[in-house]
Amino acid sequence: MDFANFLIQLLNSLQYGLLLFMLAAGLTLIFGIMGVVNLAHGSFYMLGAYLAWFLASQFDSLVLAIVVGTLIAVALGWALEWLLFRHFYHRDHLDQVLLTFGLIYIFEEVRSILWGDDVHSVPVPELVNWSIPLTENLSYPVYRLVISAVCVALALGLYFLISKTRLGMKIRAGAFNREMTEALGINIRLIHGVVFALGVALAAIAGMIASPISSVYPGMGSSVLIMCFVVVVIGGIGSVRGALVAALMVGLVDTFGKVLMPQIAGMAVYMLMAGVLLYKPEGLFKQ
C-alpha cells in the first residue's frame, strides 16, 4: 500500500469513526445518565437520513434540510422521553430492551408508510462536490472531509456543553447522584428530557450528514446500531471520552480490515471487542 492509498484509508477510517462517535455518544450518555438501554437508537439514524433526503428534495438545500431535520429530531426525542422512556428509567433492562425493540418495528413501519421502501440517494451540495487530487489517478472527495469537520465541531461542542456550562454541570450531577441533585432543587426531569433529545438529535444529524455518501435505505439503522454497541462496550458504558477513543479504534480496524483482510473484515471489529473484554470486562474507560 503506497502512501496516497494509506492516506485515503486513514481519512476514511477517521470519518467513519467520527460518525460512529456521534451515534455512540448519545447512546452512552442516555445510558450513563438515565440508565436506559436504547435499541431504537439506530432508528434515529435511519429517520435522520430519510428526513435529509425528503427535506433536501423539498427545500433544494441540504444545509437547510439538516437544520429543519435537527429541529424535528429534537422534538421527536423530547416527545418520546416524555411519553415513554421516562416511565422506564427504573424498570429492568430486559423491559427496556423489549420496549425499544418494539419501537424499532414501529419506526420502520412509520418510515415505510411515510416514504416507502425504496432506496434513495441524496446529492452532495455543489459547493463541496469536488475532490482534492492526491496523485495522477487518486483523489479524495471534499465532502468526506466536511463530514469529519462537522463531527469534530459537534464533539467539541458536546465537550464544552458537558464540562464548561451550568447545564453540563447539572447533567454530570444528575449522573453522579440523582436524589441529591433533586434535593438541591434542580429539575432532573428537565435534564433527562434535554439529554434524551440531545442523543436523538446527534444520531439524526449523523444520519443526515452521512446520507450523501451512504445511500438512504430501509434497515440502515440496525447495522449501525450494532456497531454503536461495540463502540460503547469497548469504551465503557457512560463514558463519552471512551466512546470517542473506541469509535476511532473501530473505524481504523474496520476500514483497514476491509482493505487488508477482506474475508474476515466483518468479524475484525468483534475480535477487537473480544480482546478488550478479556483484558477489561467493563470497557477501557469504565467510570
Partner 1 sequence: MSSPKATLEILPKGVQALLALGAIALAAFPLIPSDSSDFYLQMLSQMMILAIFAMSLDLLQGVTGLVSLGHAAYFGLAGYALAFLTPADVPVSLWWSLPVAALGAGLAALVIGFFVVRTHGIYFIMVTMAFAQMVFFLFFDNKELGGSDGLYVNFRPDASLFGWTGIDLENKTTFFYFTLVMLVGIYAFLRRLLFSPFGRVLAGIRVNEHRMRAVGYGTFGYKLAAFGLAGTLAGVAGYLWAAQTGFVNPELMGFHMSAHAIMMVILGGMGNFAGAIVGAFAFEYVMHFFKDLTKHWQLLMGSFIVLVVVFAPRGLLGLGERFMKKKDAA
Closest approach, Cβ 97 to partner 1, in A, equals 6
Closest to partner 1 by CB, 104 or 124? 104
Closest to partner 1 by CB, 101 or 130? 101
Other beta carbons within 10 Å of 138:
14
What does residue 74 show for φ and ψ, rounded to 5 degrees? -60, -45
How is residue 92 written as a grid cell?
A: 429492568
Closest approach, Cβ 186 to partner 1, in A, equals 25
Closest approach, Cβ 107 to partner 1, in A, equals 8
What is the Cα–Cα distance from 80 to 197, expressed in whole angstroms? 9
What is the Cα–Cα distance from 280 to 90, expressed in whole angstroms? 27
Closest to partner 1 by CB, 127 or 267? 267
Closest to partner 1 by CB, 14 or 250? 250
Residues found in the chain:
287
Closest to partner 1 by CB, 104 or 240? 104
Closest approach, Cβ 110 to partner 1, in A, equals 7
Closest approach, Cβ 140 to partner 1, in A, equals 27
HEC string of 233-265? Answer: HHHCCCCHHHHHHHHHHHHHHHHHHHHHCHHHH
Closest approach, Cβ 142 to partner 1, in A, equals 31
Closest to partner 1 by CB, 133 or 275? 275
Site residues for partner 1 per CB under 8 A: 31, 37, 39, 84, 87, 91-95, 97-99, 101-110, 112-113, 222, 226, 229-230, 232-233, 237, 263, 265-267, 270-271, 273-274, 277-278, 281-283
How is residue 263 written as a grid cell?
A: 474475508
Closest approach, Cβ 36 to partner 1, in A, equals 10
DSSP for 178-233, written as a single string: HHHHHHTT--HHHHHHHHHHHHHHHHHHHHHHHTTTS-B-TTHHHHHHHHHHHHHH
DSSP for 198-212, written as a single string: HHHHHHHHHHHHHTT
Q: Measured over all CA atoms, what is the biggest interatomic distance in the chain, rounded to whole angstroms?
A: 65
Closest to partner 1 by CB, 24 or 155? 24
